[in-house]
Amino acid sequence: MTSEDPSTIAGAPGSVDTQAGTSNRLALRIVWHSDVRRIGDVGLYLPTEPSDVKRASAPFDRIADIVLGRDPFMTIAPYQGGIELRPRPSRTLIEVAGSPLRAPRVFSDQELDSGVILLFGRAIVACLHRISFPVRRGPALDIVGESDAMEQVRRQILAVADLDASVLIRGETGTGKEVVASAIQKASKRASGPFVTVNMAAFPSQTAASELFGHERGAFTGAAAAHPGCFAQADGGTLFMDEIALAPTDVQNMLLRVLETGEYRPLGSTRNRRADVRLLCASDANLEAAAAEGRFSDPLLHRLSRFQIRLPPLRLRREDIGPLLLHFLRRSLREVGESDRLSPRSLSDPPWLQAEDVVRIALDDLRGNVRTIKNVASQLVISNRGQPHAVFDKGAQTLLSGSPMELAQRGRGRQPKVTDEQMRQALKRHGNNLAAAAADLGINRATIYERMAKHPKGIRTAPSLSDAEILASHERHAADLAAMASELGVSRKGLAARVREILSRSKRRR
């Protein structure tokens, strides 16, 4: 089978596929390519049947992508609820999650939802992930990212933008909460009004109330003149308060009053003022836990939570890494006058940024999320000014989650040395569950698969068993799968699938 036509994604922004019904597809999306215009291109594959991948398969180009073989070099196949990547005899070099694909590797639904990073021919970086089909994409709203998760965020922005309801934007640090707040403001009825942003972490607790609500002259020691405050500055527009969890108790009480009555009172004043202000707040904290512990006002939390937008971390939507990296590299290169570094070029010409370095970024934990991508892009551009090719130096490495040595090892797929006996014992301890055994040993499942290929009799899998072996064990143990799995030395889950397959085949023959 060949990949499906990806025109619903690769076409103009906002295009809608009108096919009835909704389902999931497997998407192979280009994360990095020497021709940067190809970044974001995607091919769709059915998750229910094996699909061969070759140079003529989307998202690749059968003429330009000369590092890929004309014949199939990989098969994507369904496997026990997830998928299995199978290498095919080919000259095309394939790495999956930092390790060479020499034997079949299985990935769970959860891993696919986050995105699996692949490197083809040491030149093209791609991400295998799930995508909703038909593909529907609305306006970008100045937000970079084509994942389903970010499209859901855009839909939520448009659903609430034209209202005056307060919005609580939640997500880890660096996920783009202020960008979302800006998108809400630009799409709102208050777009022509002021947009005031404040970070509660920047205000000392003793001056926070004054900064937000203002004060009269002489309201406290040092108040030599009246100060309007952020609410007055945002009158008729929008006020965005970041890190709302850090608001002092008195400020929380005053915010609650504004939300309930639309009024506030500057410090030292004898009269209330109206607040024609839409309030947007953001936090990366567990506000529910803070409220339960008395550190955050429970009534205020309920008021702020009238509508919430949750931003997913970047490690759970790795398909967005390529477009984000390209976005920030272009911005930084413009600033230093070297925009031509990313001019489209063929795969036969050395790129400004190597694909292996992009893999290093894409495999990172990205604890700073989008901010990490932005900082790495800036570091790469500035440290390589005037150079024809970027070098991923220690400065860039330290911005990622691991040490330079750990990152180098991760990029090369190095793992602890494990003997066959250690592997057999780990499999035995975990009931022949490959994922659990691999985690126990500190290796990935690819290593176990490779060892199985070399020593098929030493480490067994359910698919390697003959029908006769399974049926004989089935009869001996009266269909007790746990006993059968123990005797045959394979996982219970894999064995159950084989038993169902054999029994179903037997019924059809009758």
- Rounded CA gap, 78 and 438, in Å? 21
Please check the confidence at residue 440 and state whether its pLDDT lies above 90.
Answer: no
Write down the pLDDT at residue 299: 95
Interval 334-393: pLDDT, tens? 999 999 999 887 777 788 999 999 999 999 989 899 999 999 999 999 999 999 889 988
List pLDDT tens digits, range 61-113. 999 999 999 999 999 999 887 899 999 999 999 999 989 999 999 999 889 99
- Report the C-alpha gap between 83 and 102 in whole angstroms: 16
Lowest mean pLDDT among 27-41, 203-217, 344-358, 426-440: 426-440
Cβ pair 49, 83 in contact under 8 A: no
Query: Which pLDDT score, from 0 to 100, does residue 58 have?
Result: 94
Residue 220, pLDDT score: 65
Distance CA 432, CA 81 (A): 18
pTM above 0.75, yes or no: no
Select from 397, 371, 356 the least CA-distant residue to 314: 371
Predicted confidence (pLDDT) per residue in 142-155, tens digit:
999 999 999 999 99
Specify the pLDDT at position 104: 92
Q: To which H or E segment does residue 111 belong?
A: helix 109-114
R_g (Cα) of the chain, nearest Å: 28
Q: What is the mean pLDDT of residues 310-314?
A: 95
Cβ–Cβ under 8 Å, residues 148 and 327: no
Question: What pLDDT sits at residue 357?
Answer: 94
CB atoms < 10 A from the CB of 146, how many?
A: 21
DSSP letters spanning 363-401 = TS--TTTHHHHHHHHHHHHHHTTT-SS----HHHHTTSS
Signed CA dihedral, 249, 253, 259, 260: sign only:
positive
* Mean pLDDT (whole number) for 387-400: 89
